[in-house]
Amino acid sequence: MRLSLSLACATIALLCSGCAAHLTRLAAYARPPVVVTDTVRESAPNDYMRVSFLSPGTEVTTLSRPGALRAFATATTLYMPPLKVTNYPAYSGLVDNERNVLVAMRCRPLQPEKVDALLATWPNVFLAIQSDVPVDPSACSAHPADAPTQTACYAHAFSDPPMTAVPTSLAQTFNYAGKLFSPENKSLAQWLQGNYGIYPAFSGTGYSVKDSYSLSTEPMTSQQILVKSISSEYILKNVSLADAGCRCISVPPYPGRSNDPLDPDFIEKAGGDGACRTVNKLAAN
């Protein structure tokens, strides 16, 4: 009886020790979501996720398509633990295309200045344009006819003075940005789409709008847009995968792909270093 009691006590002690160690690990690594959100918005996280659904045979060597100036990405930490493929794209304003190749990359640039990551707000977009398309101030007074210079001049003219009322400050910025999508500025809107991937679904708040992929056919109210502004997004220079420190996987369609997790750690382990490696199947839960 004494021996049985001793064994039982030893077992309980081991279990308690294991639980204590587990709790210690959780305390060491888990952070409140509000802290995570604050951290990735106050400064660039330098750990990014980017997901695309591309036609078979599309070669991927840069963050976005060749010739573009910037590429969108999100903070990896926001997607850990991982979501299923079917759920992930909606948070970035995309949809799961089961017939196309899933290209997923996790990028941790060794030289962050090469990607020049900026939280995707309209003020930051205007700053990025001025950096990416430098123009002489005199060119703007000459009423340029080409879209790149026009867009750069428009960005240069943006001002963002401090204000004491949040709605007033935001209204000034959004009214200014909204003019880019007016009929008379069609060429500027097209330039933004081709070079920055900025479409009318872009909010400019630093958050992508969930379920906004079909905005042209399923319009949203401002209330819906605000509620669905969930995932922080960034604009990165469209550099090579190697310069962006990316590990990349290319996953062809297979039955059940949508229900498998899109795990950043799996991308890190299975992905090519600075190149996209074909992976026939994602790691299941």
Total domains present in the chain: 2
**Is the domain of 160 the same as that of 85?**
yes
Higher pLDDT among residues 12 and 55, named by residue: 55
pLDDT more than 70, % of the chain: 89
The residue ranges of DSSP E strands in 55-200, in sequence order, are 70-75, 101-107, 118-119
**Residue 172 confidence class, pLDDT cut points 50, 70, 90:** very high
DSSP lists the bridge partners of residue 103 as 52, 250
pLDDT-wise least confident of 17-31, 111-125, 128-142, 210-224: 17-31
CA angle (210, 193, 83) in 5-degree steps: 30
**Is the domain of 17 the same as that of 147?**
no
**Is the domain of 72 the same as that of 163?**
yes
**Residue 169 confidence class, pLDDT cut points 50, 70, 90:** very high
Residue 37 counted as domain residue = no
222-258 confidence digits (pLDDT tens): 999 999 999 999 999 999 999 999 999 999 999 999 9
State the angle between helix axes of 166-178 and 122-132 in degrees (0 to 180), rounded to the nearest 10: 40
Alpha helices in 230-284, H assignment, sequence order: 264-270
CA angle (56, 62, 64) in 5-degree steps: 75
**Is the domain of 268 the same as that of 178?**
yes
**Is the domain of 26 the same as that of 50?**
no
Over residues 48-75, mean pLDDT: 97
Residue 41 counted as domain residue = no
> What is the chain's mean pLDDT, rounded?
91
Report the pLDDT value the prediction gives residue 285, as an integer from 0 to 100.
67
Q: In which domain, by residue range, is 236 found?
A: 46-278
pLDDT more than 90, % of the chain: 86
Report the pLDDT value the prediction gives residue 137, as an integer from 0 to 100.
83
**Is the domain of 118 the same as that of 212?**
yes
76-110 confidence digits (pLDDT tens): 999 999 999 999 999 999 999 999 999 999 999 99
Q: Which two tokens stand for residue 152?
A: 């750069």
**Is the domain of 143 the same as that of 20?**
no
CB 75 within 8 A of CB 44: no
Angstrom distance (rounded) from CA 154 to CA 125: 11
Q: Which two tokens stand for residue 237?
A: 């220079």
Residue 38 counted as domain residue = no
Residue 145 counted as domain residue = yes
**Is the domain of 157 the same as that of 53?**
yes
Over residues 67-82, mean pLDDT: 97
Nearest Cα residue to 150 out of 133, 131, 174: 133
Inter-CA distances, 5 with 9, 14, 19, 198, Å: 6, 14, 21, 69
**Residue 8 confidence class, pLDDT cut points 50, 70, 90:** very low
17-45 confidence digits (pLDDT tens): 445 444 444 444 578 999 999 999 999 99
Residue 285 counted as domain residue = no
pTM of the predicted structure, to 2 decimals:
0.88
Q: Say yes or no to pLDDT of 10 above 80.
A: no
DSSP lists the bridge partners of residue 207 as 232
CA angle (44, 45, 47) in 5-degree steps: 130
Identity of residue 9: C
184-221 per-residue burial string, b: 16 or more CB within 10 A, e: under 16:
ebeebbebbeebbbbeebbbbbbbbbbbbbeeeeeebe
**Is the domain of 164 the same as that of 123?**
yes
Angstrom distance (rounded) from CA 207 to CA 74: 9
**Is the domain of 55 the same as that of 190?**
yes
**Is the domain of 6 the same as that of 65?**
no
